[in-house]
Structure 1
Amino acid sequence: MISKQQIEEKYTAIFEQAPAYVVRSPGRINIIGEHTDYNEGFVLPTAIDKAIYVGIGKRDDHIIRLYAEDFKEYFELALADVHPVDKGWPNYVLGVVHQLQLRGANLKGFDMYIDGDVPLGAGLSSSAALECAVGFALNVLFDLEIGRVDIAKIGQLAEHTYAGVKCGIMDQFASVMSKAGHVVKLDCRDLSFSYKPLELDDYAILLLNTNVKHSLASSAYNDRRASCEEGVRLVQQKFPEVKSLRDVTLEMLEAHVRPVDMEVYTKCRFVVEENERLHQACDALEHGDIETVGRQMFSAHEGLSKEYEVSCPELDFLVDYVKSFPEVIGARMMGGGFGGCTINLVKKSFQDLLVERLAPIYKEEFDLELTAIKVIPSNGTELL
């Protein structure tokens, strides 16, 4: 955890005055609901206690000055000259500025210091956290009166246009909208949402990072999207009112997709069943039944691995290994696939012992270090 005072001191050392505001915007996890977002389905994310922090202050000219602690890098640009740059990290800030300019926001120059403790490359959405921190900070600094959902949308558009990643809305939405002790049940079709209680009691959420990213990820993602779209097209021939897999039942798939294309059928069935698992997990959360949530997670991993085929040997190994311990009640791969983390529901008292046992076996099997990340569900973007 980084303190407000640390940010203020660093900001003051670099920009020679105190920041007007310090904003914290968290990374996120997703309990269940993977590859459902681009099919207008449901997701179940929450923010975590790892975040991006920005200090911000006004200038009396039209210059943007940025400093990123992670890279020990300084960047400067005139507000009138905002455009995507070759250096990666400023684009997440500039993309948000650009979206605000398109909305006619009355911006002036500002100084911004950026730091964070979201582990990079672990699939915890550090980029979305940064975009939301920037949007939130500029909103308070210049009294823009932009609502939280719009801050999330601005972050998503910044990612599309300046970072070149066509992400869904989940990451930004979770970063801005989360509430400690809850998950957000988000409908990716219309962005309606509700909070479900996440009462973990004796359990904790432990992420195990494979420290691997297979190059299959982007091509496989495009293939899966195409399969889902093809399944919808086949069903639409009989049911023209169907807009996405969200509207499709298993019976429709059985009758209209399975006889035509078994591969497409299998991929579409996974998405339809994943939405169903999410609804069942939400019912269980309402009743404080964390064991049922865990079972749905194991079931989701099975589907992601065997049916949707977006897992990898490292992820499968970690999920299979933890299954043998009664202290682990649920685990699955999290994120797009082919690397990143597994998310595990583990008895609090067993977390360290599990990692102690698992790390050397994982190292022996794959010659890779295993990184454990303990996370606590937390509030979304806030002013410190």
Structure 2
Amino acid sequence: MTEHTPPAPPPSSSAEAAPSIGLWVGTYPAAGAESPAGAGEGIWEVSLDPATGGLSGRQAVRTPAPSFVAAHPSGGVLYAVGEQEAGTVSVFTVTDPRSSDAAVALEHQATVSSGGASPCHLLLAPDARTLYVANYSSGTLAVLPLEPSGALAPEVLAGGPAQVFGHTGSGPRADRQESSHAHFVAFAPGGTHLLVSDLGADELRRYRVASDGLLAEDGIAARLPAGAGPRHLAFSADGRHAYVVGELDGAVHVLEWDEGSASGAPVQQVPLVDPPLTAQPSHIERDGDVLLVGVRGADLVVALRIGADGLLEREQGATALPGGCPRHHAVVGGWTVVAEQVPGALVTLRPDSRAVAHVLPVPSPACVAPRR
């Protein structure tokens, strides 16, 4: 009797496949931040296939120069800067936030002053009750209290930011460091202090955080070498080292970090390309014991391994991007999603080799944020 071999089971249906991962992507107008509204201007909703790294997306809403966006942990609210001379922060209600496969819509709630000119970064407090805004051109840091729902607090809707902190300082690069330029906001390890990367003054500014999210000036947490131009930063897993991108000197600066005093001392400087001044590093993201740094000019994502002592070991590798100007990236589901501002695309890099896996044309993308 011939033994019967049962037929192979049918392929898994799409319903059984891992759900896609939702992303928000902020963009610039194609001709630059201060140009009239263009095709790329707005916030995009993008889906990432966690199995293949494939991307698909669409424009979700038009809003002026939303170069940085941040999502409320509820998934129901999205915040976006308006990177213009008269800076703004806009708040949107997200419809259907729980289903990453559904087409979502963004409904405008409110727009208020960002507390300065050319806002370029947003940070949501861990308790989601305060939004902090870095204003690049004016060098100011603004504090926007929020309601539990994620909406702006009534006093912010009525009068703008609850606090605005300015700063004075400059550096040796007359074309970029003529005054203070706030570029990035981060909580220091321990959560009692907020830090601002000041590209113009070569400093990390420090603010003490009160229980209600309001701030008090608390001096300078670290001074970078003259002309470094600190842009973005990341911390080691144990909080004992900070890694600061020098946009103007093309290097990563390693600071030995003291949590008690919320201060750092330089202990290492690692150039990203040779010669270093041909590069303009942008964003830095830690993925386990590896730092991923976007490098404009060279158009690379450079991987640096963090040693057991917190110092950076030799370059682990560099991925040449198919386009140019990597402005921001995020590690999502193991994939690295890179926003290439020029000529305009999102690029996914594989979790294992960081080789290019997929390219999705998107006009002038400037940041990538998980949908929550």
Superposition TM-score, scaled by structure 1 size:
0.28
Q: Structure 2 length normalisation: TM-score?
A: 0.29
- Report 1 or 2 for greater relative contact order, CA contacts < 8 Å, sequence distance ≥ 6: 1
Q: Which has the higher helix share?
A: 1
Greater strand share, structure number? 2
